[in-house]
Amino acid sequence: MRKIEKLYEGKAKILYSTEEPGKLIQYFKDDATAFNARKKGTIKEKGILNNKISSRLFELLENEGIKTHFIERVSDRDMLVKRVEIIPIEVVIRNVAAGSLSQRMGIDEGANLKDTILEFYYKSDRLGDPMINEYHIKAFSLATEREIEFIKVMALKINRFLLRYFDNKGIRLIDFKLEFGRYDGEVLLADEITPDGCRLWDKESGERMDKDRFRRDMGKIEEAYLEVYERIMGVQ
């Protein structure tokens, strides 16, 4: 399978068409951004690690009965995926208070939540991905009521699996972002699951193992991504 035409370039990935209309190649970049791209940089070999991490997690989720856009990893930076119509909603699952939730609610990062929180954000770089609710989604026809309910059920199912999975790897899954897309009458998990879109803390030390190290100039960014990769792949 080869790349034909660049269709879209985002902050962390590029999508290319292929010889087959229903399949794309998703290329993972080393570019890093934060604060709605106001901060930009590069994390060496991030694209390689994220491609391998996301491929592995998609394979595991498929085994759990969660349908994804993933087909196969075809090279260090390239993933073959189904050509989905992305639903313009980012779904954020929060298990522990951190980031914008701590700021909005005035609570310390790391505070345990009584229940898991599911949030919706309108996927728009231009607008800064504003938070929305189900009324916005319905009013602006971003997704049908049936799709919303399906996405909520799937997102929470994914969370339950990933909580157990990361816990077994010595990692606390603090929060993470998901995206979904339409394909042949179904809604599939799409995009990626990587340290770019997850907050991952070491269970013992509490050390950050995700893009917060870039956002907050904490250093050892590449080492953190590599550590996540090695734990997921069982390299240690």
**Predicted local distance difference test score (pLDDT) of residue 84:** 98
Q: Indicate the burial class of 5 (C-beta count within 10 angstroms; 0-12, 13-18, 19 or more).
A: exposed
- Say if CB 127 and CB 141 are below 8 A apart: no
Tell me the per-residue pLDDT of 148-189, one tens digit each, with 9 for 90 and over.
999 999 999 999 999 999 999 999 999 999 999 999 999 999
Q: Which of 188, 196, 184, 193 shows the shortest CA–CA distance to 224?
A: 196
**Cα–Cα dist 211/68, whole Å:** 24
Q: What is the pLDDT of residue 46?
A: 97
Rounded mean pLDDT of the chain?
96
Domains of the chain: 6-82 (3.30.200.20), 85-233 (3.30.470.20)
Query: Residue 1's pLDDT is what?
Result: 81
Give the predicted TM-score (pTM) of the model.
0.95
Tokens of 133: 């609710």
125-152 per-position pLDDT tens digit:
899 999 999 999 999 999 999 999 999 9
pLDDT at 35: 83
